[in-house]
Structure 1
Amino acid sequence: MSWCSAALLVSLVAVAIYPCSGQPSVPAQEILAKITNNEPVYYDGVQISGHLDLSSLPEARVSESLALVNCTVPNATFDGITFAQDAIFWGTAFNNSSFEKATFLGQADFSNATFDQADFSGCTFSQPAFFNGAIFKDNASFEDAAFAQDAFFNAARFQGNADFNYSQFDSYSYFAAAQFSRDALFSDMEFSEASDFSAATFSGQANFIRSRLVEPYFGDVLFSGPAQFGLVNFDGLSGFGGAVFADEAGFGLARFSHAADFSSAVFRDLALFGLTRFEDIVAFQEARFEGDLNFKGATISALLFEKAELDKETRIILNDTDISRFRARWDEIEDHVAWEPGAYLALVENYRRLGWSKDEDNCYYHYRKLDQAAKKWSWSKAIDILAWLSCGYGVRPGYALAWSLFTILCFGLVFWKGDGIRRSSRPLSGPAEEDSFPERVTL
């Protein structure tokens, strides 16, 4: 055997004995014995050998603090366990572990931990829960979990599906810069306090249907897949400024009870706000729309649309929309508003309330032109054409002036051609007599 083969064999044996970069091994029974004796547990940089099954503990309870820092836990069961004190798993790698229906009465710290598959469904976190920088290599379930204090998932990476359906966040929640590589499910849940998703990345579906969000902030978020916010109840200021919606953005039947900010957001597909209620200001200033913008049946209290960019084929659908204030200059949207008589008349009334006379006239003129074009030939269409040519449907006074000047010019030309306008053949030879009439009047 050559020295190279011998070295390789020694390396393989070392890897087999110490599979995790030479971490010392601690038997699971040693940890269980300490927990049974109500002793605090603290290990740093070790590998747990055997099955760490806490479900067999008396009363399924860990009475003292449990800390496994930078450890490797190949197999562990924490289902239904109550952690009475702090549970610290900072930087620990879990290969096959489950925390289903566990209760954390103290602080739970899983910062920078790694999970092959994570099950925290039905868990209760009574104190702050930390998952900052955690990596979930497979599906992660927090379904029906309850967070009584702040929950931190900043920069966490969910490489499988992330399931937070039916969960409850009673305090602040932080998902800043989190990465969701597959579907992120947040439906039928409640954020009772502010939630921060700033700069997060959703590569799959982002589903928040039927949830309640209080002061959510999605600034600079990238939604690569469909973003579903249908039937969501937004309380407090909702921020989507600078967000990018690469797929459909669905806000149908959502309710914004306070201001909503979509300024500088980018919508690369359909932006659906059908039957949405905006009870306060909603801002789309400097936003960009590459697909249709659908407000069908929506209720809009005040919409700011200045400097918004619309692609050539983008349509703004306002059918059956109740508009109180729509601050968008007509010349910026006139080629994009989908034809519907009621929508155009609502915009005319909107501009009247805003006092934008020019926009009101231009919108009404466009409405009459489209209405005229939609009619079949009849007396009504003939009258419309006459109204168009004569006075621009009453909002183009220049038309009437032009016709007046044209008429005067035409009749003057006729009189001149007919020798109706000429010099008198009898020049005046003396001073005109006062109170006398000329022998002939020549026009």
Structure 2
Amino acid sequence: SGVEFNGTTKFDGVKFNGDADFEGAEFNRGASFSSAEFNSTDFTKSQFDKEAHFEDADFIGKTSFENAHFKEDALFENASFEDELNLIRTRYSKLFIRWHSIEKGGLAYDDAAYMSLMKNFKELGYYEDYDGCYYAYRKAHRSEDWPSVPDWEEAIRKFIDYPLEWFYGYGTKPFHAFFWSLDIVLAFFLYWRWLGLGGPQDKTREGLKDGEEWLDGDLTDILGYSVTVFLSGTRFFIDPPALPRIEGRSRSWMKKAFILERVLGALFSVLFFIAISGTIVRAA
């Protein structure tokens, strides 16, 4: 540790069978570890004055670049980190790395480390990597103590954080909201069918104006009704259908279910469009 490399340093393809200890090392010229294989690796407080090449390197054990300084580009394309990567207080201008390379082993938790990496991804135009990093950060942040927030507020905010993760991935996963929407539509489809919508006891047609059509009990009609109620929650796409009137069924409960499906439709439509605008539309 503390070694100074004055010439160009090349460890390309080298397999480090033991721990690779470069703590405090200074690489005054170019440093290349391309296709190298590391076990536990320590570059704590190391300094790279020129480009640092780690392309296709495989980091099997824990890897630390804590307090390291990359004065020029750090190139980690196609590198893989099987265990935790530590970027706490690491300084770099451009870190060419992909989130999927880090995701398996994870990033050592530090707010500033996550924020710097997200900023790096955004500046490089790695939007999907930014989304993945942000999603992981939000989940990791929830498991940490929040000393600046009162305990009661922390508990409430962490409780609310779970549905934000599940329903739309903190704005990074639009298909979370989409598949939740499908599940809700199908659940209400089963409910409307159980009520007898469009069946012989359905008297809704009697209260409709002349020329207005109603369901005939076909499964696709009932599914279409559920979709219509769900989408009518926003009123952007479609007006709500008629509230059913079915003999032997409580209209009060039907009205509550009708309103609930519309409210859920409005909620998940908003979440879906927030996530779409923050991911797919942004990257287009």
- The two structures have a TM-score, normalised by structure 1, of 0.40
Q: Is the 2:85–2:108 contact (alpha carbons within 8 Å) kept by the matching residues of 1? A: no
Alignment of 1:45-124 (within 5 A): none
| Aligned with residue 403 of structure 1, among 161, 174, 180 | 180
Question: 8 Å contact 1:341–1:367 — kept in the other structure?
Answer: no
Q: Distance in 2 between matches of 1:247 and 1:401?
A: 48
Whose relative contact order is higher, 1 or 2, with alpha carbons under 8 Å and at least 6 apart? 2
Q: 1:334 aligns with which of 84, 89, 103?
A: 103
Rounded Cα–Cα distance in structure 2 between residues aligned with 1:354 and 1:243: 29
Letter in 1 for 2:134: Y
User: Which residue does 1:373 correspond to in 2?
Assistant: 143
Give, in angstroms, the shift of residue 336 of structure 1.
Answer: 1.7
Instruction: State the 1:245 CA deviation.
Output: 3.3
Alignment of 1:269-308 (within 5 A): 270-300=40-70, 301-308=72-79
Query: Which protein has the bigger helix share?
Result: 2
* Residues in 1 aligned to 2:15 and 2:183: alpha-carbon distance in whole angstroms: 55
Residue 255 in 1 paired to residue 32 in 2? no
User: Match of 1:389?
Assistant: 166
Q: CA deviation at 1:395?
A: 0.7
Aligned AA for 1:382? F
The runs of at least 4 aligned residues of structure 1 exceeding 6 Å deviation read none
Q: Distance in 1 between matches of 2:15 and 2:163?
A: 48
| Counterparts of 1:400 and 1:262, CA distance in 2 | 42
Relative to structure 1, the CA distance from residue 292 to residue 424 in structure 2 (aligned partners, 3 Å threshold; closer, same or farther) is closer
1:196-232 CA deviation, whole Å, 9 max, x = no partner? xxxxxxxxxxxxxxxxxxxxxxxxxxxxxxxx4x151
Counterpart of 2:87 in structure 1 is: 318
Deviation at 1:419, TM superposition (A): 5.0
Contact kept? 1:239, 1:260, Cα under 8 Å: yes
Q: Contact 2:84–2:108 at 8 Å: present in 1 too?
A: no
Sequence identity (%): 32
Q: Give 1:345's aligned residue.
A: 115
Which letter maps to 2:110? Answer: P
Cα deviation 1:299-326 (Å, max 9, x = unaligned):
223222233354x5x3321111123322
**Contact 1:275/1:299 (CA < 8 Å) preserved in 2?**
yes
More strand by share: 1
> Displacement of 1:413 after TM fit?
4.3
Aligned alpha-carbon RMSD (Å)? 3.2
Matches within 5 A, 1:25-44: none
Q: So what's the TM-score if we normalise by structure 2?
A: 0.59
Partner of 2:235: none
User: Is 1:323–1:346's contact at 8 Å kept on the other side of the alignment?
Assistant: no
The 1:271/1:378 distance shift into structure 2, 3 A limit, reads same
Partner of 2:16: 245
Name stretches of at least 5 consecutive residues in structure 2 with no aligned partner: 146-150, 212-241, 245-284
Q: Deviations over 1:362-418 (max 9, x none)?
A: 111111122223358710111111211221111111122233333344445444544
How many residues are matched?
Answer: 202
- Following the alignment from structure 1 to structure 2, what is the Cα–Cα distance between the partners of residues 240 and 246? 13
Q: What are the Cα deviations for residues 314-368 of structure 1, in whole angstroms up to 9, with x where unaligned?
A: 3321111123322222222212234313322322222112211111111111111
Structure showing greater radius of gyration is 1
Secondary structure, in 3 states, of the residue corresponding to 1:286? coil
Report the residue type matching 1:345 in the other structure. M
> Aligned partners of 1:235, 1:361: CA distance in 2, in Å?
39
Mapped to 1, the partners of 2:15 and 2:192 lie a distance apart of: 69
Change (3 A) 1:247 1:418: closer
Give, in whole Å, the separation in 2 of the partners of 1:309 and 1:411: 45
The equivalences for 1:210-225 within 5 A come to none
Contact 1:315–1:338 (Cα < 8 Å) also in 2: yes
